[in-house]
Amino acid sequence: MADKRASLDEIRALAADYRAQGKCVVFTNGCFDILHAGHVSYLAKAKACGDVLVLGLNSDASVRGIKGDKKPVISEDQRAIVMSALEMVDHVVLFEEPDPENLIHAVVPQVLVKGADWPEDQIIGGDFVKANGGRVERIAFEQNISTTKIIERIGRRFYGAS
């Protein structure tokens, strides 16, 4: 299995090379804690927006800052391995910040993809991408599928928790 992880400097150079080759670079980001069908569907739709999909993956510290001390369930190294195994993901870049603004500036994607639950004017990096000639795509999520719901279902089934 190929390790698709890249550092900030590596992805900056790779993305510039792809653009020079005329390839369309797509960027999306997220925690992707417990991979599920909704994630896979979302990533397949993101990849369909261009030629190369760069995935910004929140580090463990970043996830805790956003979602609280109980997450992530899966460590950043293990999440990066799982995400690297997905055919539609070309590169995985861990980031420590609470948002991917710096990473988006390094990649300069032609397409920035986020979930449709985000209003376009609140998508971090959207203005930067559009100012550089790119576009923002919002993708609808699969209904009733989320990491939180999976964790809750496990709790109810195995531990009687609500």
Q: Which two tokens stand for residue 38?
A: 């909704």
Q: pLDDT at residue 144 above 80?
A: no
Range of the domain at 24: 8-159
**Domain annotation covers residue 72:** yes
Residue 29: enclosing H or E segment and its boundaries? strand 25-30
**Does residue 2 belong to any structural domain of this protein?**
no
Q: pLDDT per residue over 69-81, tens digit each?
A: 888 999 999 999 9
Into how many domains does the chain fold?
1
Is residue 1 situated within a structural domain?
no
Residue 24 lies in a domain: yes
- Backbone phi, then psi, for 105, in 5-degree steps? -65, -30
CATH at 151: 3.40.50.620
In a domain, residue 119? The reply is yes
Taking residues 26-35, report their average pLDDT. 94
Residue 135: strand, helix, or coil: strand
Domain annotation covers residue 3: no
Residues 6+ apart with CB under 8 A from 22: none
User: For residue 103, is it within any domain?
Assistant: yes
pTM: 0.91
Residue 85 within a domain: yes
Distance separating alpha carbons of residues 28 and 12, to the nearest angstrom = 15
Q: What rounded mean pLDDT belongs to the chain?
A: 92
User: For the segment 81-110, what is each residue's pLDDT rounded down to a tens digit?
Assistant: 999 999 999 999 999 999 999 999 999 999
In angstroms, the Cα distances linking 53 to 26, 39, 63, 72 are: 5, 14, 21, 23
